[in-house]
Amino acid sequence: MSRVYRVLRKAYARTPFDGEGAYRYGGRWSSPGTRLSYASERQSLGMLEYLVHLDQDDPPSDLVLAIADLPEDLTHEEIDAGDLPGNWREAAAPPELERFGDEFAARGEHCLLLVPSVPSPSEHNCLINPAHSDYKRIAFIETEQLSYDPRMFRKGQQRRR
């Protein structure tokens, strides 16, 4: 993996990979109080991961795409879907999933944790540990306005007669 992508609201674009959102609110792979930044290995997966959580009738107009280049030699851990509980893909994340990111961050051995994506299990999301010493080796590229196909939302669909 050499590049990761993160979709977020423009208000948070100044520090897109600092892990503040996960620290405050937690996520599928970490509990509140654990600072990790969630990113995806492909732009399309990053969009999918974000858009599945939106209200179909009220999509935000201020989304941006943050991109980071990862050094090829950056060490990582990887979680295999076969090692997860059978219900790991449920919409409400099983609480036991949080321990994977919490323990990863607490160990501090690697900067990256690769986890399977819920909407696309053969692809990976990447949890970045901003407290790891290799975090400073990541090249954060300027964010850009994100455009998505309005047909993805009911508001953008035209009624057929």
Percent of the chain clearing pLDDT 90 (strictly above): 77
For the record, the structure tokens of 36 come out as 């990790």
In a domain, 158, yes or no: no
State how many domains the chain has: 1
In a domain, 61, yes or no: yes
Instruction: Identify the pLDDT of residue 157.
Output: 55
3-class DSSP state for residue 104?
helix
Q: What is the pLDDT of residues 52-105, one digit of tens each?
A: 877 677 777 889 999 999 999 998 999 999 999 999 999 999 999 999 999 999
Residue keyed to tokens 């007669």: 161
Q: What contacts 56, CB < 8 A, 6 or more positions away? A: 153, 154, 155
As a whole number, mean pLDDT of residues 2-12 equals 93
Q: Residue 21 pLDDT > 50, yes or no?
A: yes
Q: Work out the pLDDT band at 146, boundaries 50, 70, 90.
A: confident
Q: What is the pLDDT of residues 89-145, one digit of tens each?
A: 999 999 999 999 999 999 999 999 999 999 999 999 999 999 999 999 999 998 989
In a domain, 157, yes or no: no
In a domain, 113, yes or no: yes
| Residue 144: exposure state from Cβ atoms within 10 A (0-12, 13-18, ≥19) | exposed
Q: Work out the pLDDT band at 161, boundaries 50, 70, 90.
A: very low
In a domain, 79, yes or no: yes
Give the amino acid at 67. Answer: I
In a domain, 159, yes or no: no
In a domain, 155, yes or no: no
In a domain, 131, yes or no: yes
Domain span holding position 111: 3-147
Instruction: Identify the pLDDT of residue 92.
Output: 92
8 A C-beta contact, residue 113 and residue 101: yes
pTM here is 0.88
Q: What is the pLDDT of residues 23-50, one digit of tens each?
A: 999 999 999 999 999 999 999 999 889 8
Q: What contacts 110, CB < 8 A, 6 or more positions away? A: 75, 76, 77, 104, 129, 132, 134
